[in-house]
Structure 1
Amino acid sequence: MTQAVARAVARRETLVVEAGTGVGKTFAYLVPALLSGSRALISTATKNLQDQLFFRDLPRLCEALHVPVRTALLKGRGSYLCTHRLKQARQGAELPDRRAVLALARVERWAQETRSGDFAELEGLDERSPIIPIVSSTRDNCLGSECPDYRDCYVVKARREAMEADIVVVNHHLFFADLALRESGVAELLPSVELAVFDEAHQLAEVGVQFLGTMLGTAQMLDFARDVLGQGLAQARGLQDWQGLHGRLELAARELRLACAGPLSGNGREVRGLLKLAWKERAERPGFAEALGEVADAARLARETLATVIENSPDFQRLHERAEQLEKLAQGFADKAEEGAVRWIDLSPQQARLVESPLDIRQAMQEQLAGPPKAWVFTSATLGDDEHLSWFTEPAGLDDATVLKVGSPFDYAGHARLYIPRRFPKPSEADHPAEVAALAARCARELGGRTFVLTTTLRNLQSIGEALRQAFEEQGDGIRVLQQGTATKRVLLAQFMADPRTVLVGSASFWEGIDVPGDALQCVLIDKLPFPPPNDPLVEARVQRLEAAGRNAFADYFIAEAAIALKQGGGRLIRSERDRGLLVVCDPRMAGMNYGRRLRDALPPMTRLAEEGEALDWLQELAAAHEQQQ
């Protein structure tokens, strides 16, 4: 892999590499990048991985190779403290609760000593904390060079350092946000680099689709309403009815969310997690057009009101621009979608978002590839289940890229077992979740915990979690069940690692990016084959496009997507060359249907077991070995 990256750098070519767990792909692209002396942009999936690259991997390699390079870390503006907004928060922010007041006090103390302004320095501050939006800026509310604190701005400082560095570490969200908005500094940076590397590239397409589209969210409106009230009372009290305007904007946001929820809000059904709703289902219902019209009217009133005080301060100038943008978005969503785009509504317990998006990132990436010549490297442990890695290369517009598949060095045949129960309820049958829980309980008892159960839906997450808890209580096993949603991902993982007599039940976010090496995790159960939901608006649009081109959507899309997700989920099991474990896929279709072989072949070459007794015997063997080591 290192040699392939070095060739791509030397020839300014595009390379796509699927590198199995344990290859060491980070070093495989960093070493040639550092030795070539090329200016490089490295993008990864999350802020945590960014920090790992920047603070751990890069310094170690620079020291080992004796390469004096300047490195920089660049995140989105929401990751940095805004000193101007911190001052405003001190003066008049309406904080939601006492915890937020304490969090603000912590931020104020830290602000006295920080050099980077990166919230990641503040240990124990959850990135979902309500204080962060209050003391950071967004593209909407940033005053730019008009800001009184512009000279000391941490975002400007981070961008300046990035422009001067040899290697800059960013994330996919920032990369695509910049392609769409040209405002984070990446657009200036990209033409000047000779190498662009995308790690965890399997997430690139979905992140890109989010950012290349258009979005109107009720949270965006509520933030705007809060800022209008705060600035109005602080800088123009008595000149306008700021309270009344705030109430009108808030009401418009609430009414829009209710219209998006539709029947869900009427029948008392609680929204859990994130629901993706078809545009037609809501947009054609009574009340939706009116709610959208009220958003446009409230934004127009805000624009007209702010125009009367626009000369008072740069804050009002920016708020006026935001009002214009909200009005324009509401009017845009009242019209028809653009050709080749798909619309849907994201609904969560707190907010609704109207989204219009391209179906893939093909056009955006091809525009970048057509720019100044440079080497492009895309890598991940899961990029496809065929020789061309077409699951990734096709929607990313990388048809002419050089493709390399590097298998894992781990001994899967010796260390891992795969069990697919044949005599088992189908996922469509009512007793399937209960049987998954019962099998998971039997497996976990053999190991004394140390088990993950990965579910494909939040509904299964709830029912399997509850059934497992009940099974362990009835038998007095003393095995604890941790369930996604009861605490943050980081806290749940820490609890799992600290107590071996534990089963963790998780859905989407636990299928990837989780690293539990050693004996702490030796059994992973997957409830059913992870096919994309057919009623998802984005899935529907992609299927229609494939069928219009005369292609088989089930083979070319559904199976390919399931294969990638299976590789991700199954990849949680073996994380180091000494790990041993059992993967159970509780879906008889993988054993019996003709497409099952393609899905089995997508997994690493684990030794397959035919009967549950063999699977439990293997777990007994692992448990005995674990006991000996204690």
Structure 2
Amino acid sequence: AHGAGRARDAESALGAEVLALRAWVEEQARAHALADRDDAPAHSGRAWAQVSIGSRECPGARCPFHDECFAETARARAREADLVITNHALLAIDAMNRSGVLPEYDAVIIDEAHELTDRVTGAASEELTPRQVERVARRGSDWLDDDASLALLDAADALRGALEDTGTGRVGAAHGGLVEAVGTVRDAARRAAGRLGRSGSRSQVEPERIAVAAAASEVFETAERMAALADADVVWVGEHERLGRWLTVAPLSVAGLLRAAVLSRATTVLTSATLTLGGSFETMAGRVGLRADERLGEDEEAPRAEPRDDPDARLPWRGVDVGSPFDYARQGILYTAAHLDRPGRDGIGEDALGQIVELVRAAGGHTLGLFSSRRAAETAAAHARRELPGPPVLCQGEAQLPELARRFAAEPGTSLFGTMSLWQGIDVPGDTCRLVIIDRIPFPRPDDPLVQARQQAAARAGGNGFMQVAASHAALLLAQGAGRLIRSVDDRGVVAILDPRLVRARYGPYLRRSLPPFWTTTDLARTIGALRRLSGSA
């Protein structure tokens, strides 16, 4: 009964998300605006799947809703435009599929280019769930015979059972039962796609049949890719408390894809405030495919990147640091809590919580707290509320992020604590933010299968897997997080990093070179004094 209740709660939450998305789309249609998912109400991937279809499922000009389709309208406008502004994901889809999603272009400028490889990795990744296979069977029941429908349902059951018998983590040849189940899904989906793809009634277009055939083909292609266990891919089992287990496949690297399908296609300019890691452009150049000699073995099997370039080629490139209008050494202090204990797995420690209270009190609020987990943010927010009277401490998850950011900027002395979406997604110049607190160095999860695979590949190639993958990931996020402090030439304040490894560990200098050149100290009393003076002068 308890499990049934959780399922009902999950379905209720999903339904609410779908209704919110539908209302938003209708509002966009009334305003004759082009809706972009980035501007949609907060929603899960499952909710989006209920109101959208993939490009392969789209019937195109044969769809009865073609003339009012947002995507078709956007494509038509793009074909007539001299300048197209889009996002990383659409650029990635265009590069992967060579499908003409974007018009031909002579040059591309990629802003926030530090996010490019993660966005392309996401676009080149696929998921497979038993419910996805079952959905194809249900949608295709009008056109499939009983044998084909039953084969899909049996394959979904086989996949569900194999997932339950397999632990979370990376899938390899040793997981024979799961690989066999994925092969069963592949064969059933191939059979269904073939039957659904046959011509239907000649007297009318059947857009639903076309869409279901495309969905079956997508399941087949994903299962085929997963069953192959190619060296260029990483396959793993994930688990969600409400949604159960599923399979994901992602490319080991996207450097070859980017080099072949984007960088060698047209003049490309990549811009960002955080393209230098460890004081050099070299790490980022390797990630995006400009330095083939630092690849992780990706090029020979780069997924759907045609035509391929020479995998050993080096594209000519130039890195230019154009400087900053900010005088970081005069405008900001970087405080590192060198005398705290190293962060552990049990959450944020009492000593760190004590320093948070001291720092926030000295700053008079005006604090952006960036935490490595939701649990740490909630613990710190609860402790600060108990110890600090006065302006509120907001915590991510208590309201929608845009509302929290609005209150943080509008209500004097307010503090905002949160997790990863705040590290890069908030811009509050002025006196709103005098103090940025970072609870720990943001290394990726050590049990993340993709991170593990990339580190192992770097080590096999003779590199240092930890430095090339985990440390560079942490350096990028630290630079982004610390960059929340100084947003204008008049801003002043402190970035406080409560992780002593920044000054104690052997990789500390690499991380510090990735940060803005603040005046640095490990003296808490001096830092508290600076914040009090800043608070008093304000």
Q: What TM-score do the two structures reach when normalised by structure 1?
A: 0.69
Q: Match of 1:210?
A: 122
Query: 1:413-492 maps to which residues of 2 (within 5 A)?
Result: 413-428=329-344, 430=346, 432-456=348-372, 458=373, 461-473=374-386, 475=387, 477-492=389-404
Q: 1:203 to 1:254 in 2, by over 3 A?
A: farther
Query: 1:364-375 maps to which residues of 2 (within 5 A)?
Result: 364-368=257-261, 374-375=266-267
Does structure 1 retain, via aligned residues, the 8 Å contact 2:340–2:352? no
> Within 1, Cα distance between the matches of 2:233 and 2:138?
32
> Within 2, Cα distance between the matches of 1:518 and 1:303?
57
* Secondary structure of 2:287's aligned partner: coil
Instruction: Find out whether 1:118 has 2:35 as its counterpart.
Output: yes
> Within 1, Cα distance between the matches of 2:519 and 2:263?
45
The structural deviation recorded for 1:586 is 0.9
Does structure 1 retain, via aligned residues, the 8 Å contact 2:152–2:185? no
Show CA shifts across 1:557-576 (max 9, x none): 43333222211111111111
Moved more, 292-301 or 392-401: 292-301
Which amino acid in the other structure matches residue 472 of structure 1? R
Q: Match of 1:518?
A: 430
The structure 1 residue matched to 2:170, chosen from 261, 278, 289, is 278
Which amino acid in the other structure matches residue 362 of structure 1? A
Q: Match of 1:609?
A: 521
Does structure 2 retain, via aligned residues, the 8 Å contact 1:209–1:360? yes
Q: Match of 2:275?
A: 383
> Within 2, Cα distance between the matches of 1:224 and 1:480?
49
Q: 1:522 to 1:96 in 2, by over 3 A?
A: closer
Does structure 1 retain, via aligned residues, the 8 Å contact 2:475–2:511? yes
The structural deviation recorded for 1:287 is 6.3
Query: 1:70-85 maps to which residues of 2 (within 5 A)?
Result: none
The structural deviation recorded for 1:149 is 3.1
The structural deviation recorded for 1:470 is 3.6
> Within 1, Cα distance between the matches of 2:24 and 2:50?
14
Moved more, 403-412 or 590-599: 590-599
> Within 2, Cα distance between the matches of 1:481 and 1:263?
42
Query: 1:112-511 maps to which residues of 2 (within 5 A)?
Result: 113-118=30-35, 125-126=41-42, 133-183=49-99, 185-186=101-102, 189-190=103-104, 193-217=105-129, 220-221=132-133, 224=136, 227-228=139-140, 256=159, 260=163, 277-280=169-172, 284=174, 288-289=178-179, 292=182, 295-296=185-186, 299=189, 303=193, 310-311=200-201, 313-333=206-226, 335-348=227-240, 349-350=242-243, 352-368=245-261, 374-386=266-278, 388-399=280-291, 400-428=316-344, 430=346, 432-456=348-372, 458=373, 461-473=374-386, 475=387, 477-511=389-423
Unpaired stretches in structure 1, ≥5 consecutive residues: 1-93, 265-275
> Within 2, Cα distance between the matches of 1:545 and 1:494?
43
Does structure 1 retain, via aligned residues, the 8 Å contact 2:95–2:262? no
> Within 1, Cα distance between the matches of 2:192 and 2:528?
65
Does structure 2 retain, via aligned residues, the 8 Å contact 1:590–1:597? yes
Which amino acid in the other structure matches residue 466 of structure 1? T
Q: 1:257 to 1:605 in 2, by over 3 A?
A: farther
Choose between structure 1 and 2 for higher RCO, CA contacts under 8 A separated by at least 6 residues: 1
Show CA shifts across 1:188-244 (max 9, x none): x23xx2221111011111222222344435675476467558xx5xxx8xx988xx9
The structural deviation recorded for 1:315 is 1.5
The structural deviation recorded for 1:347 is 3.7
* Secondary structure of 2:342's aligned partner: coil
Q: 1:440 to 1:221 in 2, by over 3 A?
A: farther
The structural deviation recorded for 1:338 is 1.8
> Within 1, Cα distance between the matches of 2:536 and 2:75?
54
> Within 2, Cα distance between the matches of 1:337 and 1:566?
34
Does structure 1 retain, via aligned residues, the 8 Å contact 2:335–2:522? yes
Unpaired stretches in structure 2, ≥5 consecutive residues: 1-11, 292-315
Quick one: percent identity of the two aligned structures?
31
Which amino acid in the other structure matches residue 235 of structure 2? R
* Secondary structure of 2:270's aligned partner: strand
Show CA shifts across 1:414-444 (max 9, x none): 2211111221111137575333222112211
* Secondary structure of 1:203's aligned partner: helix
Q: 1:222 to 1:625 in 2, by over 3 A?
A: farther
Does structure 2 retain, via aligned residues, the 8 Å contact 1:447–1:622? yes
Which amino acid in the other structure matches residue 477 of structure 2? A
Which amino acid in the other structure matches residue 86 of structure 2? V
